[in-house]
Amino acid sequence: MNVRLYNARILTMEKDKPVFSGEVWVKNEKIVCVLEEKQLEKGWEKDFPEIRWDLELDCKENLLMPGFKNAHTHSAMTFLRSYADDVPLQQWLNEKVFPMEAKLTGEDIYHLTRLAILEYLTSGITAIFEMYLTPDTIARACIDMGMRCVLTSGMNNFSSSIEQQEEEYNKWNGAHPLISYQLGFHAEYTTSKELLYKLAQLSHKYHAPVYTHLAETRREVEECLERYGRTPAVFLENMGLFAYGGGGFHCVHMTEDDMDVFRRHRLCVITNPASNMKLASGIAPVAEFLRKKIPVAIGTDGPASNNCLDMFREMFLVTGLSKLKEEDAASIDARQVLHMATVQGAKAMRLPKSDVLAKGKNADIIMLDLHQPNMQPIHNIPKNIVYSGSKSNVRMTMIGGQILYYNGEFNVGDSPERIYGICSQIVRRLTDSAGV
């Protein structure tokens, strides 16, 4: 599909490039031109390809920018939204989450993931870094709905295996343009040393990065120190798991030694402020990461611990909580946060073609409505997005050149009401069997 997006303000997220007026041209799944208004004014036609448009969309001076990258989530946990709340993390996992998850089927996870995808689209999220129980059915849900997805294993002592993870790694890297796969495991405290050693061997075999939940709670760190005499990051480095990079989800309770590990191996922190706040896990030292040149991306975490898959809220909390923790209103600038939610998210997820709006990049584009009261007056668009933007400003979400959400309507091959109905049936079955 060939789409011309014209009469737009454009924020490419390229370094030091300001917002400008112009057009974005999309041919099939790629961006073929990003044109400034001044180029359009001087005989530009001879320098650009002639394209027969399937759709020419007047953006009415609204903003086009790269979509947000949700760099950590467990989508199918939509079934636990507002069911497992207001308890500490370990109790939340052991008494609420794990017993219910044990009853899920792969087909359940397929449908519950589709529900989450609807919410991602309304939030301008064009790619997700997904860790959950049945990668194959998650991939199928994303392909069916048009969502870009990077899968990572949540392998632990109770689910998955090294053999399964290697099979999934080889199956989903190259199988479909929307899907890729990175090695991972749930967490140090749920995964035996033997399994971690085998995963390190797998990482070395493929020269592949590894991702995991890391230093999410103080208890996690203290128990790792009791077991191994080292913090989780240092222990995992010594196991050889970070030789080819990767990253940690949460990274709330990090020591200087942990941060040195991240710097040495160019690991990425994926911060999840709403989840960490709701579960009282703490506030990640994001400003300190940035001072130490440790890259930071942003994730929502799952809809059972957040409970909202909303990147606008996450962006505001990243900067707001950092200011509070540092007692410095200038600790993190809004433009840095926007970079985390777009460019750095793409880097963390190994999606180099989805980071900015430029020729040859994936057409993963969102349009934000600047004509709503919360975006006026327009003093500074990046700051407006981070400090006053909301999901209500998302006018369009395009992934791989396909407009999946526009003006409140979905184009995902199924009706939202049907998806809601199926998911409600799944939830009723699971809660009835639990005696809830």
**Given a cut of 80, is residue 37 above it in pLDDT?**
yes
CB 318 within 8 A of CB 333: no
- Categorize the per-residue pLDDT at 45 as very low, low, confident or very high, splitting at 50, 70 and 90: low
Asked if the model's pLDDT at residue 46 lies above 70, the reply is no
Gap between the Cα atoms of 231 and 255, Å rounded:
8
Cβ atoms of 194 and 183 within 8 Å: the answer is no
433 pLDDT tier (thresholds 50, 70, 90)? confident
Does residue 224 share a domain with residue 325?
A: yes
Task: Give the relative orientation of helices 106-122 and 416-433 as an angle to the nearest 10 degrees.
Answer: 130
Under DSSP, the state recorded for 362 is B
The secondary structure of residue 267, as a DSSP letter, is -
pLDDT at 96: 84
User: What pLDDT does residue 382 have?
Assistant: 97
pLDDT at residue 95, rounded to an integer = 87
Both 13 and 129 in one domain: the answer is: no
**What is the rounded distance in angstroms from the CA atom of residue 274 to the CA atom of residue 182?**
24
The contacts found for 93-99 with CB under 8 angstroms, 24 or more apart, are: 97/304, 99/434
Q: Region 386-395: what's the mean pLDDT?
A: 98
| Distance between first and last Cα of the chain | 48
Question: In sequence order, what DSSP letters do the residues of 88-124 get, joined into one string?
Answer: -HHHIIIIIIHHHHTT--HHHHHHHHHHHHHHHHHTT
Assess whether 186 and 279 both reside in one domain: yes
pLDDT mean across residues, the chain: 96
Tell me: do 121 and 59 sit in the same domain.
no
Q: 379 and 237, same structural domain?
A: no
Residues ≥6 apart with Cβ < 8 Å to 222: none
Using pLDDT thresholds of 50, 70 and 90, give the confidence band for residue 413. very high
Indicate whether 398 belongs to any domain: yes
Torsion 310-342-232-169 (CA) sign: positive
Over 90: is that where the pLDDT of 84 sits?
no
Question: Is residue 398 domain-shared with residue 288, that is, in the same domain?
Answer: no
**51 Cβ contact partners less than 8 Å away, ≥ 6 residues apart:** 2, 4, 25, 27, 32
> Are 38 and 81 found together in one domain?
no
Give mean pLDDT, residues 419-424: 98
Does this model's pTM top 0.95? My answer is: yes
Q: How many domains does the chain have?
A: 2
Domain ranges, residue 48: 2-66+359-410
Say which residue the tokens 């991602």 belong to. 120
Does position 153 have pLDDT exceeding 80, yes or no? yes
**pLDDT, tens digit (0-9, with 9 covering 90-100), for 180-238:** 999 999 999 999 999 999 999 999 999 999 999 999 999 999 999 999 999 999 999 99
Is residue 7 very low, low, confident or very high in pLDDT (cuts 50, 70, 90)?
very high
Alpha-helical runs (H) found in 41-105: 89-91, 98-101
Q: Based on the fold, state whether residues 188 and 89 are members of the same structural domain.
A: yes
Give the burial class of 4: count Cβ atoms within 10 A of its Cβ; 0-12 exposed, 13-18 middle, 19 or more buried.
Answer: middle
Query: Taking each helix axis from N to C terminus, what angle separates 381-388 and 311-326, rounded to the nearest 10 degrees?
Result: 90
**Which tens digit of pLDDT belongs to each residue from 256-309?**
999 999 999 999 999 999 999 999 999 999 999 999 999 999 999 999 999 999
Could you tell me what percent of the chain has a pLDDT over 70? 97
Angle between helical axes of 106-122 and 135-145 (0-180°, round to 10): 40
Read off the pLDDT band of 43 (50, 70, 90): low
pLDDT value at 89 more than 70: yes
| Predicted local distance difference test score (pLDDT) of residue 202 | 98
Is residue 436 domain-resident?
A: no
**Residue 73 within any structural domain of the chain:** yes
* Per-residue pLDDT tens over the stretch 231-251: 999 999 999 999 999 999 999
Helix (H) or strand (E) holding 339: helix 334-339
Q: What is the CATH number of the domain that holds 120?
A: 3.20.20.140
Tokens of 337: 């946060």
Task: Report helix, strand and coil shares of the chain as percent, to nearest 5.
Answer: 45, 20, 35
Instruction: State whether the Cα torsion 68-70-75-81 is positive or negative.
Output: negative
pLDDT of 18-31, one tens digit each?
Answer: 999 999 999 999 99
**Strand, helix or coil at 161?**
coil
Final residue of a structural domain among 330, 352, 374 = 352
User: To 10 degrees, what angle do helices 162-172 and 135-145 make?
Assistant: 20
Residues 182, 258 share a domain: yes
Per-residue pLDDT at 365 exceeds 80 = yes
User: CATH number, domain at 37?
Assistant: 2.30.40.10
* Residue 87 shares a structural domain with residue 228: yes
Question: So what's the pLDDT on residue 205?
Answer: 98
Whether residues 84 and 146 fall in one domain: yes
Residue 15 in domain: yes
In a domain, 428, yes or no: no
**What was the pLDDT predicted at 436?**
59
**Residue 416 falls inside a structural domain:** no
- Helix (H) / strand (E) element for 405: namely strand 402-406
For residues 339 and 423, what is the distance between their CA atoms, to the nearest angstrom?
A: 34
Based on the domain organization, do 155 and 233 belong to the same domain? yes
Please check the confidence at residue 44 and state whether its pLDDT lies above 70: no
Residue 366 binned pLDDT confidence (cut-offs 50, 70, 90): very high
| 399 domain-assigned | yes
Q: Is residue 425 part of a domain?
A: no
pLDDT, one tens digit per residue, over 112-151 is 999 999 999 999 999 999 999 999 999 999 999 999 999 9
